[in-house]
Amino acid sequence: SGDSGSGESHAVATASSSNKMSTIDVAKKVGPAVVGITSTIQGQMSLFGGYATSQSEGSGIILSADGYIVTNNHVIGGASAVTVTLNTGTEYSAQIIGADSETDLAVIKIEPTETLTVATLGDSSAVEVGETAIAIGNPMGLEFLGSVTEGIVSAVNRSIEVDGRTMNVIQTDAAINSGNSGGALVNSSGEVIGINSVKVSYEGVEGMGFAIPIS
């Protein structure tokens, strides 16, 4: 009976980690809550009359069933039109609700005609160095919609300077590339712990991505 008793206490000790999911299950749970965002930016008037336009692509995270989505301000900054692509391939035009350059955050909204998958937000203040970090987004744009990469949390409360402002961020070695901006950094419970925002892209630097803590 002594053996069974120690077995029970061991089961209790590890019960707290039972909500951890496989990367496959995390991707299935959170993937549909991450969207592609295409911003159309109206440029200067061209020599031939009319305005030249350009497009930039990024990612976003669905916050509510009625269509509120969070992304990075730099994904939608200066946009004259914003389009959201769900992982189902459905496209919606989006309205910019609010944007803030200091925190590099923005909220946009679509009017969905289908049921949306809403992300579960975690507590980024409880994130620990060494825990699993899964990035979901669209590296290099919508051609790679819904890409999943995995690594660990390399550091928390890392201060970095971006465009002249200091940001406190989560550092990860999960692969993050430009189109990942605004996408989700997720823990092994399938909770969003950060919004992927910055990649250090100096020559010879690999595996340093940064996310705005979700809290």
Query: Predicted confidence band at 199 (pLDDT cuts at 50, 70, 90)?
Result: low
Q: Look up 66 and say whether it is catalytic.
A: no
Tell me if residue 181 is catalytic: yes
Residue 12 is classified by DSSP as H
Q: How many angstroms separate the Cα of 193 from the Cα of each of 55, 123, 211?
A: 28, 6, 8
pLDDT tens profile 28-51: 999 999 999 999 988 766 677 677
Identify the weakest region by mean pLDDT among 83-97, 155-169, 194-208: 194-208
Query: Exactly one of 104, 124, 147, 197 is catalytic; which is it?
Result: 104
Lowest mean pLDDT among 77-81, 133-137, 160-164, 197-201: 197-201
Quote the pLDDT of residue 136.
97
How far is CA 186 from each of CA 1, 51, 108, 134, 172, rounded to the nearest angstrom? Answer: 41, 40, 21, 5, 11
pTM of the model: 0.86
Catalytic, out of 59, 124, 154, 181:
181
**174: exposed, middle or buried (Cβ count in 10 Å: 0-12, 13-18, 19+):** buried
- The H-assigned helical ranges of 34-143 are 73-76
